[in-house]
Amino acid sequence: MPMLRNLDLIMSMEVGDVIASPLSLEMLRIYSVLYLGGGQPMSCATSQRKYYEILKKDYMKNKEKLEKTHELKFQGLRYIPGIRDKEGNLIAGHLHIVGSAVTDDMALEYLSKGILKEKDFITLPEGYKATVKKTQKEDKDSLY
pLDDT per residue as tens digits for the range 56-96: 999 998 888 788 888 888 877 888 887 777 787 777 677 88
Which pLDDT does position 28 carry in this prediction?
Answer: 95
**84 located within any domain:** yes
Same domain, 7 and 61: yes
Q: What is the pTM of this model?
A: 0.62
Beta bridge partners of 95: 80
**31 located within any domain:** yes
Chain segment 18-53, per-residue pLDDT in tens? 999 999 999 999 998 888 877 899 999 999 999 999
**Residue 30 belongs to what domain range?**
2-66
Same domain, 26 and 45: yes
**Rounded distance between C-alpha atoms, residue 54 and residue 48, angstroms:** 10
Which pLDDT does position 68 carry in this prediction?
Answer: 81
Chain segment 97-144, per-residue pLDDT in tens? 888 778 888 899 889 888 888 999 999 988 888 765 554 555 555 544
Which pLDDT does position 134 carry in this prediction?
Answer: 52
CB atoms < 10 A from the CB of 69, how many? 12
**Rounded distance between C-alpha atoms, residue 15 and residue 49, angstroms:** 6
Q: Confidence band (pLDDT; 50, 70, 90) for 12? A: very high
Element (H, E) at 2: helix 2-11
Which pLDDT does position 132 carry in this prediction?
Answer: 52
Which pLDDT does position 138 carry in this prediction?
Answer: 53
Which pLDDT does position 38 carry in this prediction?
Answer: 75
Which pLDDT does position 137 carry in this prediction?
Answer: 53
**134 located within any domain:** no
Encode burial over 98-119: b for 16+ CB neighbours within 10 A, e otherwise: bbbbbebebbbebbeeebbeee
**138 located within any domain:** no
| Ranges assigned E (strand) in the chain | 71-72, 77-80, 83-84, 90-92, 95-98, 121-123
Which pLDDT does position 114 carry in this prediction?
Answer: 82
Which pLDDT does position 120 carry in this prediction?
Answer: 92
Same domain, 9 and 57: yes
